[in-house]
Structure 1
Amino acid sequence: MDVKDFYFDLPEELIAQHPAEKRDESRLMVLDKRTGELNHKHFKDIIDYLNPGDCLVLNNTRVLPARLIGSKEGTGAKMEFLLLKRIDKDKWETLVKPGKKAKVGSNFIFGNGELKAEVVGIGDEGSRIVQFQYQGIFEEVLDKLGQMPLPPYIKEKLQDRERYQTVYSKEVGSAAAPTAGLHFTKELLEKIKAKGVKVAFLTLHVGLGTFRPVKVDTIEEHHMHSEFYCMTKETADIINETKKSGGRIIAVGTTSSRTLESIGTEDGVVQEKSGWTDIFIYPGYKFKVVDALITNFHIPESTLIMLVSALAGRENIMKAYNTAVKEKYRFFSFGDAMFIG
């Protein structure tokens, strides 16, 4: 398939620069994947589209304050580091700007020297492998020195860091938020449970590879970066039980979808498992586990719009996206939501 099949014209003013005032009051587009019918609601109305016996699967990853501003030892040159993926205890794959000043053997200082780094190798697409030195616990040092790694299309400063975390975030390790989950409040989740909908959690640590542009002309040639996932026995049991009793598996976000589809067998059974996935889902893919999806509106020609097109059909998705532009929905990380059911 041609990458251009997933292009739509998006005015810049529709790219959300800040979260909605209340998480669950963002808009919600409801797409019937069988008929293509669209309805316009607010996110708190999602409860009306969930049935007793369904299972909502959420990604409980927590975003690291993964953006570090430091200086180069010797020259004092200002440098920006973005942590992408933990390779070992204190060894990380990072994006460094400006990259030409981060040669192997270069050393860098952050804060008042509480954190130091040495470039020990070159990774994929010019990333740097960095070894950190510090006293104490790395996550605590990072919490003090790091900033939230907001996507480059968000130009405004985030007033409250927690608004780029889901209310159920728990397992620290992502370079970006699983943004479909940002719409949920604790109160809404309690109402959903009270309706008889099961709520289950898995973990996929989101890397920036998810958002990297597709640079090939035909999508089959694109290769996804790998991301770490973990599913507990408790979650696997809930999902298998739901499937067995005829309930739907509703993935919250493309990250949950990719994890479920990486683990699921041909007959839709999942098991306790952890590992790395580079699954790339695009039209023609037959879903084994996921029946419905809650998601945000994605970047044109991205792997994310290809995934939702695999679930709902490309024509339905492109019609929905063009309608969203016309109706002035807010796009991307802090934007509005879509329910594909």
Structure 2
Amino acid sequence: MDVLFMSRLKVYEKEPWYHFYKVLLQPPSTFDYLLVLLTPLANEQLIEAVGVQIDIELRREGSHNLTEVIRGDSFALPMVSEEIREKTTSKYDPMLEKLVNQVQDNIERFVNVYTKAIEGKITDSEVAILKTYIGDALWSEFSWFLKNQDNLNARRKAELIKKFVSIVFQRSTEAIMQVLWKRGVVLRDRNLPPTTLRLVWIPQGDNITSTGIYDVPESKAQLLSLLRAIMPGLIDFSTSVDENELVRIARLTLKLDDEYDIDTIMNLIGKLYLEPNEMQALLEELKGHGLPKKLTVYAMLSYILTKKSGHPSFIIFEGSTPVTIIYPAIKFEESTNKNGKED
């Protein structure tokens, strides 16, 4: 089971501001990156977003008995305000819990009927149940497996059992996504084993009219392009070669490793773009959240770009390529936090 991701969510919740910038600039995965990109929009209640993760693990007990361990969790965006998290989970958890339970019921029913088939106690109606779960395309292979599994070595037998249970799991989770996409947008993490489903669901609302199931791309720019298409007017980005001076400073910082050089860049940014008191207050806030110095420079530049554009804006990198993200539907005010959240 993939517990690392769920553990990361708990860490993000404890220090949301710090991890917003940390994950924005250095995401452990594009799915984590997706959660960050949606955060300002959810904090401003322009969208709702909720995630689901379901894992299945098979354990053998004896020669015939199978035990399935299924864990399903729903989660709100971890870096939004606590109020938004509670509102989102209380609204959508009951529905999502029912969908997760359907997956568990399907797996348990399949394993129970499969066990009866091994023992030779299966009825015609139960054969039909197995065929429904496995599907016509693989039914011949599954039937052969039932008849010949005693002649297979333990490793091959375990591989086939896992394959068939994974198929039932995937067909069951596909049914979940079919329910969700009819009422909004499903963004699915495909960089996972077949025994894990992870997704974010964005329900339809005043600002979301799209529906559909989309795979989360592995590229930051591709993900931003997808979100821009799904949520026109809410998020935009640029990888233009016509860089402004703030982006050029960010590119220069990317090449620096010496802390003295980074300190020099920070001082120059302060002198060029910020009032002395403003510079001191910004640095104290950034350092108070424990950002590394290089990330502090990017955060400073993003803050300055936000002031210039009047909308929350962020400078990040895709490799060595600078990417500028902007949230045109959110107005920046001096009292607004850097991730679009009111202080």
Q: Work out whether the TM-score is over 0.5.
A: no
- Please report the TM-score for the alignment, with normalisation by the length of structure 2: 0.26
More strand by share: 1
Structure number with bigger Rg:
2
- Which structure has the highest helix share of the two? 2
TM-score if structure 1 supplies the norm length?
0.26
- More relative contact order in 1 or in 2 (CA 8 Å, sep 6+)? 1
